[in-house]
């Protein structure tokens, strides 16, 4: 079971929002969202495998991949009696949400995905393969530094870049490399989030205009997809919930409130 954090006392007349971080991140990357969301929702963070006190990526008998992680998220939410929730994910978190929508659609009431990755560009794949060649002869945190600077190169990306590097230092080398392997195995095609099961789920994608490795492909992959909205934030990079927190909060809360069930029943 994954580590979970209730950020406020769960109330029966409020719906649940579940937060999923990116690789090397933690619930701390959502600190600017938590305060805003808690005014209207029960807010829960999950730490993905290899992060916080969640199980190590090497502790699973089955092959460690994104589908297994989605299963772990589902099991954890069932354990804490959450049968349906709104999900907010950043980067890797958005990939896991897409897996949830495909494999456990009934648990996803709506989905907000920031800095979403639907496929890797040729440059991204080149960088990943280069990192794979040197991963055994260099400290993993150097790889993380390298990719953080390539993904978030501008001065206005500094805060999010610094935070992610700081959080990544808390990871075990084995956990980082296991996640890295999963990105290497990531096929060059859109994430399987547009099948029949996921089509009816309301989806909001929020990306920075300066998210240069992913945003162009994201625009192309979302073209014509039903129940899907894409918002692009100017002067913003990959980690849009940190760099432009006020705009991210405004867009995401408007979306969540639009898809909230107006009853007094527990979620």
Strand partners, 109: none
Q: Which residues pair with 230 in a beta bridge?
A: 205
φ/ψ (deg, to 5) at 17 = -120, 125
When mean pLDDT is compared across 92-101, 124-133, 207-216, the lowest value belongs to 124-133
pLDDT at residue 264 in the model: 42
What does each C-alpha distance from 39 to 9, 11, 85, 198, 250 come to in angstroms? 11, 12, 16, 28, 13
Output the pLDDT for position 146. Answer: 84
What pLDDT, on a 0 to 100 scale, did the predictor assign at position 267?
40
Q: Interior CA angle at 210 toward 208 and 211, to 5°?
A: 70
- Is pLDDT larger for residue 174 or for residue 194? 174
Beta strands in the chain (DSSP E): 3-6, 16-20, 42-47, 85-90, 108-114, 203-208, 228-233
pLDDT of residue 266: 42
If you write DSSP's letter for every residue of 64-92 in order, what string do you get?
PSHHHHHHHHHHHHHHTT--SEEEEEETH
Mean pLDDT of 179-204: 77
User: 88: which strand partners?
Assistant: 19, 112
pLDDT in tens, 103-132: 999 999 999 999 999 888 888 888 888 888
C-alpha distances (whole Å) from 105 to each of 10, 37, 71, 174, 198 are 23, 23, 12, 31, 6
- Residues 21 and 27: beta-carbon distance below 8 Å: yes
- Using CA atoms, how far apart are residues 196 and 112, in angstroms rounded to an integer? 19
Cα first-last separation, the chain:
21
pLDDT at site 34: 98
Q: What is the pTM of this model?
A: 0.93
3-258 CATH choice from 3.40.50.1820, 3.30.750.24, 1.10.4080.10, 1.10.3720.10: 3.40.50.1820
Average pLDDT, integer, range 208-234: 94
CA–CA separation, 229 and 213 (whole Å) = 20
CA distance 68 to 65: 5
Q: What is the pLDDT of residues 22-33, one digit of tens each?
A: 998 889 999 999
Task: Round to whole Å and give the CA distance between 209 and 183.
Answer: 23
Residue 87: beta bridge partners? Answer: 18, 111
């Amino acid at each position: 079971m994954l580590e979970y954090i209730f950020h406020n006392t769960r109330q029966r007349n409020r719906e649940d929002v579940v937060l999923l971080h990116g690789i090397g991140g933690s619930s701390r990357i959502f600190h600017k969202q938590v305060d805003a969301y808690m005014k209207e929702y029960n807010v829960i963070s999950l730490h993905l495998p290899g992060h916080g006190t969640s199980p190590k990526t090497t502790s699973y008998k089955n092959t460690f991949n994104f589908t297994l992680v989605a299963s772990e998220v589902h099991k954890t939410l069932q354990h804490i009696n959450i049968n349906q929730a709104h999900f907010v994910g950043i980067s890797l978190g958005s990939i896991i949400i897409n897996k949830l929508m495909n494999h456990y659609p009934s648990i996803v009431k709506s989905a907000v995905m920031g800095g979403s990755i639907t496929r890797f560009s040729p440059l991204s794949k080149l960088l990943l393969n280069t990192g794979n060649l040197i991963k055994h002869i260099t400290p993993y945190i150097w790889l993380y530094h390298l990719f953080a600077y390539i993904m978030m190169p501008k001065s206005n990306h500094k805060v999010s870049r610094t935070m992610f590097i700081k959080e990544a230092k808390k990871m075990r080398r084995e956990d980082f490399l296991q996640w890295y392997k999963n990105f290497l195995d990531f096929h060059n095609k859109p994430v399987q989030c547009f099948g029949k099961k996921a089509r009816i789920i309301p989806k909001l994608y929020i990306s920075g205009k300066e998210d240069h490795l992913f945003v162009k492909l994201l625009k192309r992959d979302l073209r014509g997809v039903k129940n899907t909205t894409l918002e692009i934030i100017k002067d913003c990079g990959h980690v849009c919930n940190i760099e432009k927190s006020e705009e991210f909060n405004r867009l995401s809360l408007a979306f969540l409130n639009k898809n909230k069930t107006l009853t007094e029943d527990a979620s």
